[in-house]
A and B are shown apart, each in its own frame.
Chain A
Amino acid sequence: SGWTYFGALELGGMWASGERAWYNLYKDLPTAGLYLNNFYFKARDMQPGKGYFVEGLGGALGYRDQYSGINVGRYNDWKVKLFYNEIPHTFTTNYRSLWDGVGSDYLTLKTLTPGGTLVQNPNGTPNQAASTDATRTNLLNAINAGEGGRDLELVRRKGGISLDKYLSNTWRFYGNYTQEKREGARPFGAVFGGGGGGGNIEIPESIDYDTHNILGALRYDDGLNNLNLQAQVSLFRNNIDTMTFENPIYALTNTVLTSPTGTAATAVTPGSMFTTGRYDLYPDNDYYNLRAEYGRSLPEWFRSRLTATISLSKMKQDDDLIAPTTNDMSGMFINGVSAYNNWNTTSALSKQSADAEIDTQLFDIGLTSRPLDKLDVNGKIRYYATDNKTDYQACNPLTGQWGRLINDGSGGAFVIPNATAGNNPLGTLPTAYDTTGCNLDAARALGLVPSAGNTNLTNIPYQYSKTNYELGGIYRLARGQSINGRIEREEYHRDYRERDETWENMVKVGYVNQAMDIGTLRASVEYGRRRGDSYDTDPYKQFYSISLGPEPTANLTNIASWIHNIGSFRKFDLADRDRLALDVRLDLITLHDLDLGISGQYRDMDYPDSDFGRNDHQKLGSATLDLNWQPSPKLGLYGYYTYQQSTMNQAGIQPNGCIIGNYYYFYSDGFVGTGTVPAAPARAGATVVNTVVVASNNWESQCGDNSATSPLWPDGRIWKTDTRDTNHAFGLGGRYDFGFARLELDYTYVKGISSIDYDYNSAALTAVPTAITAATWQLAGNGMPDMDYNQQALNFNLVVPLSKSVALRA
């Protein structure tokens, strides 16, 4: 027959020891045993008119990083490809779990009591402190007694089949189906309690995903016209949509109280009530995409080429929503309303399924022409937009309460009419909003000042559009030399962000020289200037309780939640930005057998209008030297070294407070005190340099932005950080063929140093200087400890041919 066959197989033994978590990050290293490193085979029938082939390859069979594939087909006619690939992701090999059922939808505590350890006072009431201490002790004992040495990992297993078929001289079909199964668990966390959280616990997140991808495409090419038509479907399925875990900690609560008239200070909830927590993990989702790409060569019209792309997508999911808690909330009250059986059912939700959808569209058209032999010009317009159709109200139809029960019922974020006297008419009940039956317009029509400004009422359907206009060209200076340039404008329109519009004007110039006998030079410089319309620090008002009623005016009202962010804070993705990018690459052929590559990159992003947030200059520099030397067929050597350094700055202010009617005393050491009388209390070592009173008619100007005398954001509480990364990557290796054996050597050395330095005024952040606070600031120092990362890898192989077809690798 006309078939020819060839292949290779690398089989051996392996032994490994020691802590292998880092090495096993994406690999599966057997501790001992036979190991099929890799194999491949090919068979071809090359007779004229045949052209059939079978190819296969694989490796690590039986292990969690195994891979294999086979291609069968006929050249220039059809090809079927099957593949299978596994990728492990090991987080640790020394995991101690408090739960059974890791990887499932229910985590059962092995030994600990769900809800923590309740210690009661003699009168039978919960002893909060003693319960917390006892729970912590039991937790420590359980961790120490637990079995270590377990892997916490997940594994991706992906397989697929594809078909590539020439339908005619002009049409070609391509289709594939892939399925990925991802299983295991990863580090995760849970929090209980209200507000910022009263208790955290490290838990494993169970992972059991299936993702199906189906793609079909038709391609057309008649030499002048090119057309790609493609349809794609991706279906993500989470087999653990909801994960419940038994809670080992003693949870303290707020907002959710044990008496209808109680306060957070007096109400102590039996922690043992919150025995479980429940996550609504990533929902199943569907993705559909239709894409058409067209290219048309116009050789008679300035040697032009037109390209156009249309792509329409839909992302949607309609997962059933879950109840806010699994607990019946017996004996609990939220703002005077019984929570009993009002929150452990999906009837507590404004809708039963998510019905979330985002549609996207892309239109791109470009033209490139060569009006002169030396000149190419091109232009392009690209438009991309998202349309978010998701809506959700955070209101319980059973009670009419706006807001949400958080952390499985151990806390709440609700809005009621403001209770500070003077903000609302006398006699306004805490349940006034509730009576509107989750009708947001009706609730707003009441005209009542809400209790806080930052309670979520509805979701925010973020969406945006982006348009790029581009004009560029290439001018050939001489044989092998050219300059290229591009000017571009990028316009963003965003809904519900701090800026409705941003735009960036860019210019890029590049130079290519391939005419030099000694090598090739490529260099480019790009500058971009991004600006935008006025920056609104709180564009989200309609989605928060701030929109429920007028602003408060009464003394003693804490107004801080009405102020979303520092006035001069700039989110970096929207901020004014000046951007510089330099790239240079020089490939030298210094000798006939020696190649030398020198390359460098420099990036500088300046945020000229950002006092807070990411600010100043963000820089990245990178330089690389590459060497390849092949003096003979027997000897080949390579080496490279890359140095990178990046810096990033940011600033923030630790908020203080803003209460109408309160006096704020600004001391010489930066500290800000507060009180209800004009006279400031004495402070050791400092004097009062200013006093400000917040009034109903000035709180926005007093507290809305930072200043030396801002009650909420005083300059004395500014902190600044400087993050710096330095990296070295060095590689060296080669091979030498002795004839009787081949020596192969590869060595890699990587060093990364990350540092975080900071500036702050410790006196401004210290209410009462004590020996303890002094020790705290001594520990704080000027920065976090450096994070050093070092990795060395040496790969040494000796390949000894035993016969024409067998070699030994050691």
Chain B
Amino acid sequence: CVPTDTVKNHASAGVETQIDLTNQDSTYIGEKACLECHKNAGDHASMGVHVSAFRSNPQNARQREVCESCHGPGSKHAQETTNRSLIIGYTKGWGTPVPKQNAVCLTCHQGGQRINWARSPHDVNEVACSDCHNPMMQNSATGNLLRVSINETCYTCHPQQRAEFLKRSHMPLPEGKMSCNDCHNPHGSPTRPLLKTDTVNETCYECHAEKRGPFLWEHAPVRENCVNCHQAHGSNHDKLLVAPRPMLCQQCHDAGVGHPGNFYNNSQTAESALQVGGVQSQRVIGRACQNCHTQIHGSNHPSGARFQR
């Protein structure tokens, strides 16, 4: 059992908060003393927001300690530099437990977008803030990230999504026009999967506001959840669809009259129409069902009950 002492620190608001740093009762020694051994780190960190803010316009007493604001008081560490229990490190090799690392970050960053960090998937899986962020380097344009971009940072643990964004039909992430955090809040959310809004649909409406409606004539699965029909990241099929049309529509529609339940096949393609026995069907070529049911996300036309206008 490791005895635990506490060090009184100044929280972001100036309120004293107990933070379990490590087994020590060090005192602050100041940035200058740190830089005697860590000059390179200081040079790199000076390009980032944290050190810049702490040096030029500290918000509270704790931030005035600059390096020790995040790493904890360093007097004992300075005396015994190889004892890993005497200072908080943010690398895997240093061994500071992830919850302790994150607790330090949350001292200042618990509010705002991190308000739901506790219990979030990244928290439960003990992902360290430093797994994604590195305030000691200027690797990214924003966010003090470990990699050059938000997307590259997320791909380090989510390569499946990287592969999906490379598919034929995809959100414009590879082109640099979107970031994962346009839809997700990696720091926690009441909405799965870490979505920034209340539902999948409200997330989609952020960019596709025209589909928000509401409409006179609604399409039930569309109104409830866009991912009933669309993949969120990428797909081999047109418009990020989860399955090719007309089969996708036929997963719900097989009415007793009309065409929804018909067997559509290769004799009805444009190419087959050039051969004996082939007859092109407007329900197979092009956008298939949406050649006629164009307003499939909902219609405001008085005649639009079947989404044809």
Whether B45 sits at the interface, judged by CB under 8 Å, is no
B116 partner residues in chain A, CB cutoff 8 A: 293, 295, 307, 309, 366
Decide if A169 touches B166 in the complex (CB within 8 Å). Answer: no
Decide if A612 touches B209 in the complex (CB within 8 Å). Answer: no
Decide if B57 touches A50 in the complex (CB within 8 Å). Answer: yes
Partner of A703, one of B49, B243, B256: B256
Decide if A221 touches B213 in the complex (CB within 8 Å). Answer: no
Chain A: CB-nearest residue to B276:
A775
Partner of A626, one of B52, B159, B167, B263: B159
With A228-B111, A394-B305, A727-B236 in contact, is A573–B221 under 8 Å at CB?
A: yes
- Can you report 9 A-B residue pairs in the complex whose CB atoms are below 8 A from each other? A85-B177, A166-B59, A189-B286, A226-B112, A234-B212, A279-B294, A362-B198, A474-B124, A655-B261
Whether B168 sits at the interface, judged by CB under 8 Å, is yes
Whether A114 sits at the interface, judged by CB under 8 Å, is no
Of the listed stretches A38-46, A99-107, A141-149, A250-258, chain B binds: A38-46
CB distance from B169 to the nearest CB of A (A): 9
CB distance from B95 to the nearest CB of A (A): 8
The dominant DSSP class at the B interface is loop
A655 partner residues in chain B, CB cutoff 8 A: 254-257, 261-262
Of the listed stretches B31-39, B72-80, B265-273, chain A binds: B265-273
With A484-B125, A514-B98 in contact, is A561–B257 under 8 Å at CB?
A: yes
Decide if A482 touches B126 in the complex (CB within 8 Å). Answer: yes
Chain B: CB-nearest residue to A484:
B124
Decide if A295 touches B263 in the complex (CB within 8 Å). Answer: no
Chain A 445-466 interface 0/1 with B at a Cβ cutoff of 8 Å (1 = within): 0000000001010011110100
Decide if A454 touches B125 in the complex (CB within 8 Å). Answer: no
A640 partner residues in chain B, CB cutoff 8 A: 159, 162
Decide if B126 touches A601 in the complex (CB within 8 Å). Answer: no
Decide if B247 touches A650 in the complex (CB within 8 Å). Answer: yes
Partner of A779, one of B215, B259, B267: B267
Decide if A512 touches B162 in the complex (CB within 8 Å). Answer: no
B164 partner residues in chain A, CB cutoff 8 A: 644
- Most chain B beta-carbon neighbours within 10 Å: one of A172, A413, A775: A775
Chain B 63-92 interface 0/1 with A at a Cβ cutoff of 8 Å (1 = within): 100000000000000000000000000001
Decide if B57 touches A719 in the complex (CB within 8 Å). Answer: no
CA distance A729 to B166 in the complex (A): 7
Chain A: CB-nearest residue to B16:
A223
Report how many A-B pairs have Cβ atoms within 8 Å: 426
A425 partner residues in chain B, CB cutoff 8 A: none
Decide if A279 touches B214 in the complex (CB within 8 Å). Answer: no
A456 partner residues in chain B, CB cutoff 8 A: 305
Decide if A460 touches B52 in the complex (CB within 8 Å). Answer: no
Partner of B291, one of A189, A357, A723: A189
Decide if A569 touches B254 in the complex (CB within 8 Å). Answer: yes
Whether A593 sits at the interface, judged by CB under 8 Å, is no
B135 partner residues in chain A, CB cutoff 8 A: none
CA distance A360 to B160 in the complex (A): 33
Decide if A462 touches B223 in the complex (CB within 8 Å). Answer: yes
CA distance A75 to B224 in the complex (A): 43
Decide if B223 touches A322 in the complex (CB within 8 Å). Answer: no
Partner of B56, one of A75, A87, A522: A75
B255 partner residues in chain A, CB cutoff 8 A: 454, 564-565, 655
CA distance A564 to B262 in the complex (A): 15
Decide if A642 touches B160 in the complex (CB within 8 Å). Answer: yes
Q: For the complex, count residues of B whose C-beta is within 8 A of A.
A: 114
Q: Which of A684-734 contact B (CB under 8 A)?
A: 703, 712-713, 717, 719, 721, 723, 725, 727, 729
Chain B: CB-nearest residue to A562:
B256
Whether A781 sits at the interface, judged by CB under 8 Å, is yes
Assuming A462-B218, A599-B159, what are 8 further A-B pairs, CB within 8 angstroms? A223-B13, A307-B190, A394-B305, A472-B124, A655-B257, A658-B256, A703-B256, A772-B276
Whether A324 sits at the interface, judged by CB under 8 Å, is yes
- Most chain A beta-carbon neighbours within 10 Å: one of B98, B125, B265, B302: B302
CB distance from A655 to the nearest CB of B (A): 5
Decide if A65 touches B212 in the complex (CB within 8 Å). Answer: no
CA distance A749 to B291 in the complex (A): 33
With A349-B302, A654-B263, A775-B276 in contact, is A789–B168 under 8 Å at CB?
A: yes
B92 partner residues in chain A, CB cutoff 8 A: 514, 520, 589
CA distance A77 to B97 in the complex (A): 32
Whether B11 sits at the interface, judged by CB under 8 Å, is yes
A170 partner residues in chain B, CB cutoff 8 A: 13
With A51-B52, A211-B209 in contact, is A278–B305 under 8 Å at CB?
A: no
Whether A787 sits at the interface, judged by CB under 8 Å, is yes
Whether A505 sits at the interface, judged by CB under 8 Å, is no
Whether B230 sits at the interface, judged by CB under 8 Å, is no
CB distance from A462 to the nearest CB of B (A): 5
With A642-B162, A642-B163 in contact, is A652–B250 under 8 Å at CB?
A: yes
Whether B149 sits at the interface, judged by CB under 8 Å, is no
Whether B181 sits at the interface, judged by CB under 8 Å, is no
Decide if A789 touches B167 in the complex (CB within 8 Å). Answer: yes
Chain B 189-219 interface 0/1 with A at a Cβ cutoff of 8 Å (1 = within): 0100000001100100110011111111110
CA distance A72 to B80 in the complex (A): 42
With A388-B214, A459-B216 in contact, is A307–B115 under 8 Å at CB?
A: yes
Whether B251 sits at the interface, judged by CB under 8 Å, is yes
Decide if B118 touches A280 in the complex (CB within 8 Å). Answer: no
Chain B: CB-nearest residue to A615:
B251
Q: Which of A753-777 contact B (CB under 8 A)?
A: 754, 756, 758, 760, 765, 772-777
Whether B27 sits at the interface, judged by CB under 8 Å, is no
Of the listed stretches A122-130, A264-272, A310-318, chain B binds: A310-318
A528 partner residues in chain B, CB cutoff 8 A: none
CA distance A521 to B300 in the complex (A): 52
Whether A597 sits at the interface, judged by CB under 8 Å, is yes
Of the listed stretches A377-385, A431-439, A548-556, A735-743, chain B binds: A377-385
CA distance A49 to B58 in the complex (A): 8
Decide if B247 touches A565 in the complex (CB within 8 Å). Answer: no
B303 partner residues in chain A, CB cutoff 8 A: 324, 404-407
CA distance A220 to B287 in the complex (A): 50
CB distance from B126 to the nearest CB of A (A): 5
With A599-B160, A653-B254 in contact, is A285–B213 under 8 Å at CB?
A: yes
Chain A: CB-nearest residue to B171:
A26
Whether B156 sits at the interface, judged by CB under 8 Å, is yes
CA distance A616 to B292 in the complex (A): 30
A348 partner residues in chain B, CB cutoff 8 A: 302
CB distance from A237 to the nearest CB of B (A): 9
CB distance from B152 to the nearest CB of A (A): 10
- Most chain A beta-carbon neighbours within 10 Å: one of B107, B237, B251: B251
A354 partner residues in chain B, CB cutoff 8 A: 215-216, 300
CA distance A51 to B18 in the complex (A): 29
Partner of A299, one of B18, B98, B156: B18
Decide if B254 touches A566 in the complex (CB within 8 Å). Answer: yes
CA distance A356 to B214 in the complex (A): 6
